Chains A and B, each alone.
Chain A
Amino acid sequence: MKEKINIALAQISCKRGDKEANLKKIEAKVVKAREQGAELVVFPELSLTGYVLRDQLYEVAENIPGPSVNTLEKLAKQNKVYIIVGMPELSEKTKATIYNTAVLIGPKGYIGKYRKMYLPTHSVFEEKRYFRPGYQAAAFDTEIGKLGIIICYDVFFPEVSRLTRLKGAQLIVCISASPGARRAFFETLTAARAIENTVFLAYVNLVGIEDGLQFWGGSRLIGPNGKVLVKAKYDEEDLVIGEVDYSTIKPIEAFVPTLKDLRPELFDKLKEHAEKL
Protein backbone atom coordinates (compact mmCIF):
# COMPACT_ATOMS: atom_id res chain seq x y z
CA MET A 1 0.00 0.00 0.00
CA LYS A 2 1.21 3.48 -0.84
CA GLU A 3 2.16 5.83 1.99
CA LYS A 4 1.38 8.93 -0.05
CA ILE A 5 -1.30 9.49 -2.65
CA ASN A 6 -2.67 12.39 -4.63
CA ILE A 7 -6.41 12.87 -4.52
CA ALA A 8 -8.40 15.08 -6.90
CA LEU A 9 -11.56 16.76 -5.65
CA ALA A 10 -13.66 17.11 -8.81
CA GLN A 11 -16.24 19.70 -7.88
CA ILE A 12 -18.69 19.72 -10.77
CA SER A 13 -22.19 20.81 -11.68
CA CYS A 14 -24.42 18.29 -13.42
CA LYS A 15 -26.85 18.23 -16.28
CA ARG A 16 -29.88 16.83 -14.56
CA GLY A 17 -31.06 13.45 -15.77
CA ASP A 18 -28.46 13.39 -18.57
CA LYS A 19 -26.09 10.58 -17.64
CA GLU A 20 -24.34 10.69 -21.01
CA ALA A 21 -23.43 14.37 -20.63
CA ASN A 22 -22.34 13.90 -17.02
CA LEU A 23 -20.21 10.89 -17.89
CA LYS A 24 -18.48 12.99 -20.56
CA LYS A 25 -17.74 15.66 -17.99
CA ILE A 26 -16.53 13.03 -15.52
CA GLU A 27 -14.23 11.61 -18.20
CA ALA A 28 -12.77 15.04 -19.01
CA LYS A 29 -12.11 15.73 -15.32
CA VAL A 30 -10.53 12.32 -14.78
CA VAL A 31 -8.16 12.86 -17.69
CA LYS A 32 -7.26 16.33 -16.44
CA ALA A 33 -6.78 15.15 -12.85
CA ARG A 34 -4.63 12.25 -14.03
CA GLU A 35 -2.42 14.66 -15.97
CA GLN A 36 -1.91 16.49 -12.70
CA GLY A 37 -0.86 13.30 -10.95
CA ALA A 38 -4.07 12.29 -9.18
CA GLU A 39 -4.43 8.64 -8.26
CA LEU A 40 -7.97 8.97 -6.93
CA VAL A 41 -10.60 11.30 -8.44
CA VAL A 42 -13.73 11.98 -6.38
CA PHE A 43 -17.01 13.34 -7.73
CA PRO A 44 -20.00 14.64 -5.72
CA GLU A 45 -23.13 12.88 -4.48
CA LEU A 46 -25.43 11.81 -7.35
CA SER A 47 -23.05 13.40 -9.81
CA LEU A 48 -23.97 10.86 -12.49
CA THR A 49 -27.46 12.33 -12.67
CA GLY A 50 -27.72 15.58 -10.69
CA TYR A 51 -29.36 15.85 -7.28
CA VAL A 52 -32.91 17.24 -7.57
CA LEU A 53 -34.46 14.53 -9.70
CA ARG A 54 -37.67 13.84 -7.82
CA ASP A 55 -39.87 11.37 -9.77
CA GLN A 56 -37.28 11.13 -12.55
CA LEU A 57 -35.13 9.10 -10.17
CA TYR A 58 -37.07 5.98 -11.09
CA GLU A 59 -36.00 6.46 -14.67
CA VAL A 60 -32.30 7.12 -14.21
CA ALA A 61 -31.43 4.70 -11.40
CA GLU A 62 -29.20 1.80 -12.49
CA ASN A 63 -27.95 -1.48 -11.13
CA ILE A 64 -24.40 -1.59 -9.82
CA PRO A 65 -22.57 -2.89 -11.76
CA GLY A 66 -24.57 -1.64 -14.73
CA PRO A 67 -24.13 0.39 -17.92
CA SER A 68 -22.76 3.57 -16.31
CA VAL A 69 -20.45 1.65 -14.00
CA ASN A 70 -19.16 -0.23 -17.06
CA THR A 71 -18.32 3.11 -18.68
CA LEU A 72 -16.59 4.25 -15.50
CA GLU A 73 -14.64 0.98 -15.35
CA LYS A 74 -13.27 1.56 -18.85
CA LEU A 75 -12.34 5.10 -17.85
CA ALA A 76 -10.54 3.92 -14.70
CA LYS A 77 -8.69 1.16 -16.57
CA GLN A 78 -7.62 3.44 -19.42
CA ASN A 79 -6.34 6.07 -17.04
CA LYS A 80 -5.05 3.67 -14.36
CA VAL A 81 -6.86 5.61 -11.69
CA TYR A 82 -9.36 5.18 -8.85
CA ILE A 83 -12.71 6.96 -9.19
CA ILE A 84 -15.57 7.59 -6.76
CA VAL A 85 -18.89 8.75 -8.24
CA GLY A 86 -22.31 9.21 -6.64
CA MET A 87 -25.31 7.70 -8.43
CA PRO A 88 -28.84 6.45 -7.82
CA GLU A 89 -28.63 2.67 -7.55
CA LEU A 90 -31.53 0.44 -8.49
CA SER A 91 -31.70 -2.66 -6.33
CA GLU A 92 -31.14 -5.83 -8.33
CA LYS A 93 -33.97 -7.63 -6.62
CA THR A 94 -36.75 -5.08 -7.14
CA LYS A 95 -38.06 -2.70 -9.77
CA ALA A 96 -38.32 0.58 -7.88
CA THR A 97 -36.16 0.38 -4.77
CA ILE A 98 -33.38 2.92 -5.05
CA TYR A 99 -30.33 3.72 -2.97
CA ASN A 100 -28.27 6.90 -2.87
CA THR A 101 -24.96 5.21 -3.56
CA ALA A 102 -21.27 5.95 -4.04
CA VAL A 103 -19.37 3.60 -6.28
CA LEU A 104 -15.62 2.94 -6.07
CA ILE A 105 -13.83 1.81 -9.19
CA GLY A 106 -10.11 1.14 -9.60
CA PRO A 107 -7.64 0.48 -12.39
CA LYS A 108 -8.70 -3.18 -12.33
CA GLY A 109 -12.42 -2.42 -12.37
CA TYR A 110 -15.32 -2.24 -9.95
CA ILE A 111 -14.30 -2.49 -6.28
CA GLY A 112 -17.40 -1.75 -4.21
CA LYS A 113 -20.14 0.61 -3.20
CA TYR A 114 -21.49 2.46 -0.20
CA ARG A 115 -25.19 3.17 0.28
CA LYS A 116 -26.02 6.37 2.16
CA MET A 117 -27.28 5.56 5.64
CA TYR A 118 -28.83 8.85 6.71
CA LEU A 119 -31.32 10.21 4.20
CA PRO A 120 -32.37 13.80 4.92
CA THR A 121 -36.13 14.27 4.74
CA HIS A 122 -36.73 17.71 6.14
CA SER A 123 -36.46 21.27 4.87
CA VAL A 124 -35.94 21.00 1.08
CA PHE A 125 -34.82 17.38 1.23
CA GLU A 126 -37.05 14.43 0.39
CA GLU A 127 -34.61 11.55 0.19
CA LYS A 128 -36.58 9.07 2.29
CA ARG A 129 -39.45 9.45 -0.11
CA TYR A 130 -37.29 7.97 -2.86
CA PHE A 131 -34.37 6.10 -1.33
CA ARG A 132 -33.96 3.12 0.92
CA PRO A 133 -31.16 3.67 3.45
CA GLY A 134 -28.01 1.59 3.48
CA TYR A 135 -27.06 -0.49 6.52
CA GLN A 136 -23.32 -1.03 6.10
CA ALA A 137 -20.34 1.22 6.68
CA ALA A 138 -17.72 0.87 3.98
CA ALA A 139 -13.93 0.61 4.13
CA PHE A 140 -12.16 -0.82 1.08
CA ASP A 141 -8.61 -2.19 0.97
CA THR A 142 -6.90 -0.76 -2.08
CA GLU A 143 -3.38 -0.10 -3.28
CA ILE A 144 -3.88 3.57 -2.49
CA GLY A 145 -4.93 2.93 1.10
CA LYS A 146 -7.93 1.80 3.05
CA LEU A 147 -10.72 4.03 1.77
CA GLY A 148 -13.94 4.69 3.62
CA ILE A 149 -16.94 6.39 2.03
CA ILE A 150 -19.80 8.34 3.59
CA ILE A 151 -22.38 10.58 1.90
CA CYS A 152 -23.39 14.13 2.86
CA TYR A 153 -25.87 14.03 5.78
CA ASP A 154 -24.02 10.98 7.17
CA VAL A 155 -21.40 13.47 8.38
CA PHE A 156 -23.91 14.83 10.95
CA PHE A 157 -23.88 11.43 12.66
CA PRO A 158 -20.44 10.83 14.20
CA GLU A 159 -21.12 7.11 14.55
CA VAL A 160 -20.97 6.61 10.76
CA SER A 161 -17.49 8.10 10.44
CA ARG A 162 -16.40 6.37 13.64
CA LEU A 163 -17.58 3.00 12.39
CA THR A 164 -15.88 3.61 9.05
CA ARG A 165 -12.66 4.46 10.87
CA LEU A 166 -12.96 1.44 13.15
CA LYS A 167 -13.29 -0.74 10.06
CA GLY A 168 -9.84 0.51 9.20
CA ALA A 169 -10.36 3.48 6.92
CA GLN A 170 -7.49 5.95 6.91
CA LEU A 171 -9.06 8.22 4.33
CA ILE A 172 -12.78 8.90 4.57
CA VAL A 173 -14.31 10.31 1.41
CA CYS A 174 -17.51 12.28 1.99
CA ILE A 175 -19.38 13.06 -1.22
CA SER A 176 -22.08 15.67 -0.92
CA ALA A 177 -24.84 17.74 -2.52
CA SER A 178 -25.17 20.50 0.04
CA PRO A 179 -27.07 23.72 -0.66
CA GLY A 180 -25.76 27.11 0.50
CA ALA A 181 -27.71 27.59 3.71
CA ARG A 182 -25.86 24.66 5.33
CA ARG A 183 -22.28 25.58 4.53
CA ALA A 184 -21.23 26.47 8.08
CA PHE A 185 -22.42 23.10 9.43
CA PHE A 186 -20.42 21.14 6.88
CA GLU A 187 -17.30 23.24 7.30
CA THR A 188 -17.35 22.50 11.02
CA LEU A 189 -18.47 18.89 10.90
CA THR A 190 -16.03 17.72 8.23
CA ALA A 191 -13.14 19.04 10.32
CA ALA A 192 -14.64 17.54 13.49
CA ARG A 193 -14.99 14.07 11.91
CA ALA A 194 -11.35 14.21 10.81
CA ILE A 195 -10.09 15.28 14.26
CA GLU A 196 -12.17 12.92 16.38
CA ASN A 197 -11.16 9.94 14.26
CA THR A 198 -7.60 11.07 13.43
CA VAL A 199 -8.29 10.36 9.81
CA PHE A 200 -7.97 12.12 6.45
CA LEU A 201 -11.33 13.37 5.22
CA ALA A 202 -11.95 14.41 1.62
CA TYR A 203 -15.19 16.35 1.21
CA VAL A 204 -16.45 16.83 -2.37
CA ASN A 205 -19.55 18.93 -2.87
CA LEU A 206 -21.70 19.69 -5.89
CA VAL A 207 -22.00 23.14 -7.48
CA GLY A 208 -24.66 24.62 -9.72
CA ILE A 209 -28.31 25.52 -9.15
CA GLU A 210 -30.98 22.85 -9.28
CA ASP A 211 -34.60 23.82 -8.72
CA GLY A 212 -33.61 26.87 -6.67
CA LEU A 213 -31.03 25.00 -4.57
CA GLN A 214 -27.57 26.50 -5.00
CA PHE A 215 -24.86 24.01 -4.08
CA TRP A 216 -21.94 25.76 -2.49
CA GLY A 217 -18.92 23.71 -3.52
CA GLY A 218 -16.06 24.41 -1.11
CA SER A 219 -14.68 20.86 -1.43
CA ARG A 220 -11.67 20.21 0.75
CA LEU A 221 -9.10 17.73 1.94
CA ILE A 222 -8.70 17.79 5.69
CA GLY A 223 -5.80 16.26 7.57
CA PRO A 224 -6.16 14.08 10.67
CA ASN A 225 -5.47 17.13 12.83
CA GLY A 226 -8.40 19.02 11.27
CA LYS A 227 -6.26 21.25 9.11
CA VAL A 228 -7.65 22.08 5.67
CA LEU A 229 -4.92 20.96 3.28
CA VAL A 230 -6.49 22.05 0.01
CA LYS A 231 -9.80 23.71 -0.73
CA ALA A 232 -11.85 24.27 -3.88
CA LYS A 233 -13.69 27.47 -4.77
CA TYR A 234 -17.12 28.23 -3.42
CA ASP A 235 -20.07 28.04 -5.85
CA GLU A 236 -18.06 27.32 -9.01
CA GLU A 237 -16.70 24.24 -10.71
CA ASP A 238 -13.17 23.47 -9.65
CA LEU A 239 -10.60 20.71 -9.63
CA VAL A 240 -8.04 20.69 -6.83
CA ILE A 241 -5.44 18.10 -5.95
CA GLY A 242 -4.21 17.37 -2.49
CA GLU A 243 -1.69 14.98 -0.99
CA VAL A 244 -2.68 12.36 1.53
CA ASP A 245 0.38 11.31 3.51
CA TYR A 246 -0.71 8.41 5.69
CA SER A 247 2.50 8.61 7.72
CA THR A 248 1.20 11.81 9.34
CA ILE A 249 -1.60 9.90 11.05
CA LYS A 250 0.70 8.23 13.57
CA PRO A 251 2.05 11.34 15.38
CA ILE A 252 -1.42 12.91 15.43
CA GLU A 253 -3.02 9.71 16.71
CA ALA A 254 -0.49 9.75 19.54
CA PHE A 255 -1.10 13.43 20.21
CA VAL A 256 -4.94 13.22 20.07
CA PRO A 257 -5.46 9.57 21.07
CA THR A 258 -9.23 9.35 20.58
CA LEU A 259 -9.05 5.84 19.24
CA LYS A 260 -6.91 4.62 22.14
CA ASP A 261 -9.37 6.25 24.57
CA LEU A 262 -12.54 4.85 23.04
CA ARG A 263 -15.02 3.54 25.65
CA PRO A 264 -17.01 0.71 24.02
CA GLU A 265 -19.40 0.41 26.98
CA LEU A 266 -20.70 3.91 26.20
CA PHE A 267 -21.98 2.66 22.89
CA ASP A 268 -24.31 0.30 24.73
CA LYS A 269 -25.56 3.22 26.81
CA LEU A 270 -25.93 5.27 23.64
CA LYS A 271 -28.06 2.58 22.06
CA GLU A 272 -30.18 2.27 25.17
CA HIS A 273 -30.89 6.01 25.34
CA ALA A 274 -31.28 6.53 21.60
CA GLU A 275 -34.09 3.97 21.61
CA LYS A 276 -35.91 5.97 24.29
CA LEU A 277 -35.56 9.42 22.69
Chain B
Amino acid sequence: METRVKRFIKKYVEKAGAKGIVVGLSGGIDSCTTAALSALAIGGDKVLGLTLPEQETYNMRDMEHVKLISEKFGFKIETIDITPALEEIYNSIPIFDPADKLCKGNIKARLRIIYIYYYANKLNMLVCGSSDKSETMIGYFTKWGDIAADISPIMDLFKTQVRKLADYIGIPKEIVTKPASPMLWPGQLAEEELGIKYETLDLILYGLEHFMKTEEIAEQLGLKKELVDRIKNRWLYTEHKRQGLLTLKVGYRTVGKDFRLFRDPC
Protein backbone atom coordinates (compact mmCIF):
# COMPACT_ATOMS: atom_id res chain seq x y z
CA MET B 1 0.00 0.00 0.00
CA GLU B 2 2.84 2.37 0.86
CA THR B 3 4.34 1.92 -2.60
CA ARG B 4 1.01 2.48 -4.37
CA VAL B 5 0.22 5.65 -2.43
CA LYS B 6 3.73 7.03 -2.98
CA ARG B 7 3.55 6.29 -6.71
CA PHE B 8 0.20 8.07 -6.89
CA ILE B 9 1.56 11.18 -5.17
CA LYS B 10 4.73 11.27 -7.26
CA LYS B 11 2.88 10.76 -10.56
CA TYR B 12 0.38 13.51 -9.90
CA VAL B 13 3.01 16.03 -8.86
CA GLU B 14 4.79 15.24 -12.14
CA LYS B 15 1.61 15.35 -14.23
CA ALA B 16 0.68 18.74 -12.81
CA GLY B 17 4.17 20.07 -13.36
CA ALA B 18 4.14 21.17 -9.71
CA LYS B 19 7.21 21.94 -7.66
CA GLY B 20 5.98 20.03 -4.64
CA ILE B 21 3.21 19.51 -2.16
CA VAL B 22 1.54 21.54 0.57
CA VAL B 23 -0.16 19.60 3.36
CA GLY B 24 -2.22 21.13 6.12
CA LEU B 25 -0.65 19.62 9.21
CA SER B 26 -2.67 19.39 12.41
CA GLY B 27 -0.52 16.86 14.19
CA GLY B 28 -3.20 14.18 13.83
CA ILE B 29 -2.64 10.77 12.31
CA ASP B 30 -4.16 11.51 8.88
CA SER B 31 -2.20 14.68 8.14
CA CYS B 32 1.04 13.32 9.64
CA THR B 33 0.76 10.15 7.55
CA THR B 34 -0.06 12.11 4.39
CA ALA B 35 2.86 14.49 4.89
CA ALA B 36 5.21 11.61 5.64
CA LEU B 37 4.09 9.65 2.57
CA SER B 38 4.50 12.78 0.45
CA ALA B 39 8.05 13.24 1.72
CA LEU B 40 8.82 9.58 1.06
CA ALA B 41 7.34 9.91 -2.44
CA ILE B 42 8.96 13.11 -3.72
CA GLY B 43 11.56 14.02 -1.13
CA GLY B 44 11.13 16.12 2.00
CA ASP B 45 12.65 19.21 0.38
CA LYS B 46 9.59 19.38 -1.90
CA VAL B 47 7.02 19.06 0.88
CA LEU B 48 5.71 21.90 3.00
CA GLY B 49 3.66 21.16 6.09
CA LEU B 50 1.50 24.11 6.97
CA THR B 51 0.45 24.25 10.60
CA LEU B 52 -2.42 26.59 11.28
CA PRO B 53 -3.25 26.67 14.98
CA GLU B 54 -5.68 29.03 16.66
CA GLN B 55 -6.15 30.02 20.25
CA GLU B 56 -9.29 28.04 21.15
CA THR B 57 -8.04 24.64 20.06
CA TYR B 58 -4.30 25.23 20.52
CA ASN B 59 -2.63 22.09 21.76
CA MET B 60 1.05 22.01 22.66
CA ARG B 61 1.23 18.25 22.19
CA ASP B 62 0.01 18.54 18.59
CA MET B 63 2.69 21.13 17.88
CA GLU B 64 5.32 18.77 19.28
CA HIS B 65 3.98 15.98 17.08
CA VAL B 66 4.20 18.21 14.00
CA LYS B 67 7.82 18.98 14.82
CA LEU B 68 8.58 15.35 15.51
CA ILE B 69 7.15 14.14 12.22
CA SER B 70 8.78 16.87 10.13
CA GLU B 71 12.18 16.07 11.61
CA LYS B 72 11.75 12.34 11.16
CA PHE B 73 10.63 12.55 7.52
CA GLY B 74 12.71 15.62 6.64
CA PHE B 75 10.13 18.09 5.34
CA LYS B 76 9.71 21.77 6.08
CA ILE B 77 7.02 23.18 8.30
CA GLU B 78 5.64 26.64 8.59
CA THR B 79 3.37 27.74 11.41
CA ILE B 80 0.86 30.56 11.17
CA ASP B 81 -1.40 31.55 14.04
CA ILE B 82 -4.78 32.13 12.37
CA THR B 83 -6.39 33.61 15.52
CA PRO B 84 -6.21 37.28 14.41
CA ALA B 85 -7.68 36.49 10.99
CA LEU B 86 -10.45 34.44 12.59
CA GLU B 87 -11.29 37.28 14.98
CA GLU B 88 -11.54 39.65 12.03
CA ILE B 89 -13.91 37.27 10.25
CA TYR B 90 -16.09 36.74 13.34
CA ASN B 91 -16.31 40.52 13.90
CA SER B 92 -17.21 41.20 10.28
CA ILE B 93 -20.21 38.85 10.19
CA PRO B 94 -23.34 40.74 11.31
CA ILE B 95 -25.16 37.54 12.27
CA PHE B 96 -22.16 35.84 13.91
CA ASP B 97 -23.20 33.62 16.81
CA PRO B 98 -20.28 32.55 19.02
CA ALA B 99 -22.45 29.92 20.72
CA ASP B 100 -23.00 28.05 17.44
CA LYS B 101 -19.81 26.04 17.56
CA LEU B 102 -20.39 24.11 14.34
CA CYS B 103 -20.85 27.20 12.16
CA LYS B 104 -17.92 28.83 13.92
CA GLY B 105 -15.78 25.71 13.61
CA ASN B 106 -16.49 25.47 9.88
CA ILE B 107 -15.01 28.96 9.47
CA LYS B 108 -11.78 27.62 10.95
CA ALA B 109 -11.64 24.71 8.51
CA ARG B 110 -12.41 26.99 5.56
CA LEU B 111 -9.93 29.63 6.65
CA ARG B 112 -7.20 27.01 6.95
CA ILE B 113 -7.78 25.94 3.37
CA ILE B 114 -7.44 29.56 2.21
CA TYR B 115 -3.91 29.65 3.67
CA ILE B 116 -3.06 26.24 2.25
CA TYR B 117 -4.18 27.18 -1.26
CA TYR B 118 -2.38 30.52 -1.07
CA TYR B 119 0.89 28.72 -0.49
CA ALA B 120 0.14 26.17 -3.18
CA ASN B 121 -0.69 28.86 -5.76
CA LYS B 122 2.24 31.06 -4.86
CA LEU B 123 4.80 28.26 -4.79
CA ASN B 124 3.34 26.25 -7.67
CA MET B 125 2.63 23.27 -5.48
CA LEU B 126 -0.24 20.81 -5.22
CA VAL B 127 -2.51 20.70 -2.20
CA CYS B 128 -2.44 17.20 -0.82
CA GLY B 129 -5.53 16.39 1.26
CA SER B 130 -5.44 13.99 4.16
CA SER B 131 -9.07 12.97 4.48
CA ASP B 132 -9.61 9.28 5.20
CA LYS B 133 -12.43 7.04 3.99
CA SER B 134 -14.20 6.72 7.35
CA GLU B 135 -14.66 10.44 7.83
CA THR B 136 -15.33 11.11 4.17
CA MET B 137 -18.04 8.44 3.96
CA ILE B 138 -19.99 9.75 6.95
CA GLY B 139 -19.48 13.38 5.94
CA TYR B 140 -17.45 14.15 9.06
CA PHE B 141 -15.66 17.11 7.51
CA THR B 142 -16.36 20.71 6.49
CA LYS B 143 -17.82 21.17 3.02
CA TRP B 144 -15.36 23.27 0.99
CA GLY B 145 -13.07 23.16 4.04
CA ASP B 146 -10.60 20.51 5.14
CA ILE B 147 -11.80 18.18 2.35
CA ALA B 148 -10.55 20.61 -0.34
CA ALA B 149 -7.45 19.38 -2.14
CA ASP B 150 -5.91 18.66 -5.52
CA ILE B 151 -5.15 15.06 -4.63
CA SER B 152 -6.33 12.98 -1.68
CA PRO B 153 -4.09 9.93 -1.58
CA ILE B 154 -5.51 8.22 1.52
CA MET B 155 -9.20 8.89 0.92
CA ASP B 156 -9.88 5.26 0.06
CA LEU B 157 -8.37 3.98 3.30
CA PHE B 158 -10.49 3.61 6.42
CA LYS B 159 -9.12 5.16 9.61
CA THR B 160 -8.12 1.76 10.94
CA GLN B 161 -6.21 1.10 7.70
CA VAL B 162 -4.50 4.50 7.96
CA ARG B 163 -3.40 3.55 11.46
CA LYS B 164 -1.80 0.36 10.15
CA LEU B 165 -0.15 2.17 7.26
CA ALA B 166 1.10 4.90 9.63
CA ASP B 167 2.58 2.32 11.93
CA TYR B 168 4.18 0.53 8.96
CA ILE B 169 5.95 3.64 7.65
CA GLY B 170 7.17 4.58 11.09
CA ILE B 171 4.85 7.30 12.32
CA PRO B 172 5.55 7.52 16.09
CA LYS B 173 3.19 5.52 18.27
CA GLU B 174 1.94 8.52 20.25
CA ILE B 175 0.58 10.01 17.01
CA VAL B 176 -0.95 6.73 15.80
CA THR B 177 -2.78 6.08 19.06
CA LYS B 178 -3.82 9.68 19.76
CA PRO B 179 -7.61 10.23 19.70
CA ALA B 180 -8.66 11.94 16.45
CA SER B 181 -10.06 15.49 16.49
CA PRO B 182 -11.16 17.86 13.70
CA MET B 183 -10.04 20.74 15.99
CA LEU B 184 -13.09 22.88 15.35
CA TRP B 185 -13.77 23.62 19.01
CA PRO B 186 -12.00 22.97 22.32
CA GLY B 187 -12.14 19.41 23.56
CA GLN B 188 -13.70 18.05 20.35
CA LEU B 189 -12.94 14.35 19.98
CA ALA B 190 -14.13 12.46 16.91
CA GLU B 191 -15.11 9.15 18.51
CA GLU B 192 -16.88 10.91 21.37
CA GLU B 193 -18.81 13.17 19.02
CA LEU B 194 -19.72 10.36 16.64
CA GLY B 195 -20.62 8.04 19.53
CA ILE B 196 -18.71 5.13 18.02
CA LYS B 197 -15.19 3.75 17.92
CA TYR B 198 -13.44 3.78 14.54
CA GLU B 199 -12.91 0.02 14.80
CA THR B 200 -16.69 -0.46 14.80
CA LEU B 201 -17.47 2.38 12.40
CA ASP B 202 -15.07 0.99 9.80
CA LEU B 203 -16.64 -2.45 9.91
CA ILE B 204 -20.10 -0.94 9.42
CA LEU B 205 -18.85 1.18 6.52
CA TYR B 206 -17.11 -1.84 5.01
CA GLY B 207 -20.42 -3.70 5.10
CA LEU B 208 -22.26 -0.78 3.48
CA GLU B 209 -19.56 -0.53 0.83
CA HIS B 210 -20.19 -4.20 0.05
CA PHE B 211 -23.93 -3.72 -0.41
CA MET B 212 -24.83 -5.43 2.86
CA LYS B 213 -28.17 -4.63 4.46
CA THR B 214 -28.11 -2.93 7.86
CA GLU B 215 -29.81 -5.98 9.42
CA GLU B 216 -26.99 -8.24 8.25
CA ILE B 217 -24.28 -5.84 9.42
CA ALA B 218 -25.90 -5.44 12.84
CA GLU B 219 -26.26 -9.20 13.21
CA GLN B 220 -22.70 -10.02 12.17
CA LEU B 221 -21.18 -7.34 14.39
CA GLY B 222 -23.53 -7.88 17.32
CA LEU B 223 -24.72 -4.27 17.14
CA LYS B 224 -28.13 -2.66 17.38
CA LYS B 225 -29.72 -2.10 13.99
CA GLU B 226 -30.55 1.49 14.97
CA LEU B 227 -26.85 2.28 15.29
CA VAL B 228 -26.06 0.80 11.87
CA ASP B 229 -29.03 2.64 10.35
CA ARG B 230 -27.79 5.89 11.87
CA ILE B 231 -24.38 5.44 10.26
CA LYS B 232 -25.96 4.47 6.96
CA ASN B 233 -28.13 7.58 6.96
CA ARG B 234 -25.12 9.78 7.74
CA TRP B 235 -23.43 8.22 4.72
CA LEU B 236 -26.40 8.69 2.38
CA TYR B 237 -27.44 12.16 3.50
CA THR B 238 -23.93 13.63 3.15
CA GLU B 239 -23.37 12.72 -0.50
CA HIS B 240 -23.87 16.40 -1.36
CA LYS B 241 -20.61 17.12 0.50
CA ARG B 242 -18.63 14.68 -1.62
CA GLN B 243 -19.87 15.33 -5.14
CA GLY B 244 -19.38 18.27 -7.48
CA LEU B 245 -21.85 21.04 -7.99
CA LEU B 246 -25.54 20.26 -8.30
CA THR B 247 -27.21 22.02 -11.18
CA LEU B 248 -30.35 21.72 -13.21
CA LYS B 249 -29.77 20.00 -16.52
CA VAL B 250 -30.96 22.18 -19.36
CA GLY B 251 -28.19 21.88 -21.95
CA TYR B 252 -26.82 19.26 -24.26
CA ARG B 253 -23.95 18.39 -21.94
CA THR B 254 -23.84 19.64 -18.37
CA VAL B 255 -20.96 20.49 -16.04
CA GLY B 256 -20.70 17.99 -13.22
CA LYS B 257 -23.19 15.64 -14.87
CA ASP B 258 -22.48 14.38 -18.31
CA PHE B 259 -19.33 16.08 -19.41
CA ARG B 260 -17.26 12.99 -18.90
CA LEU B 261 -13.72 14.25 -19.27
CA PHE B 262 -10.56 13.03 -17.56
CA ARG B 263 -9.31 15.28 -14.81
CA ASP B 264 -5.57 14.92 -15.10
CA PRO B 265 -3.86 16.83 -17.87
CA CYS B 266 -1.91 13.91 -19.32
Q: Which residues of A contact B (CB under 8 A)?
A: 55-56, 58-59, 96, 123-124, 179-181, 209, 211-214
Contact = CB atoms under 8 A, between A and B. Distances in A.
A123 B246 contact: no
A181 B257 CA distance: 14
A181 B211 contact: no
B247 interface: yes
A212 B252 contact: no
The dominant DSSP class at the B interface is: loop
Interface of B: 211, 213, 236, 246-254, 257-258
Given A123-B258, A124-B257, A214 B211 contact: no
Closest 10 pairs between A and B when the two form their complex, measured CB to CB:
A123-B258, A124-B258, A58-B211, A212-B249, A212-B246, A124-B257, A212-B248, A212-B247, A213-B249, A179-B249
The dominant DSSP class at the A interface is: mixed
Contacts of B254: 124, 212
A88 to B, nearest CB: 14
A212 B213 contact: no
Contacts of A179: 249
B248 A123 contact: no
Contacts of B257: 124, 212
5 contacts: A59-B213, A181-B249, A181-B251, A212-B247, A212-B257
A58 B210 CA distance: 11
Given A124-B254, A181-B252, A211 B211 contact: no
B42 to A, nearest CB: 35
B246 A214 contact: no
Contacts of A124: 249, 254, 257-258
Contact of A180 (B236, B246, B249): B249
Nearest to A126: B258
B72 to A, nearest CB: 41
B258 A181 contact: no
Contacts of A58: 211
Contacts of B252: 181
A96 B211 contact: yes
Given A209-B248, A211-B246, A123 B253 contact: yes
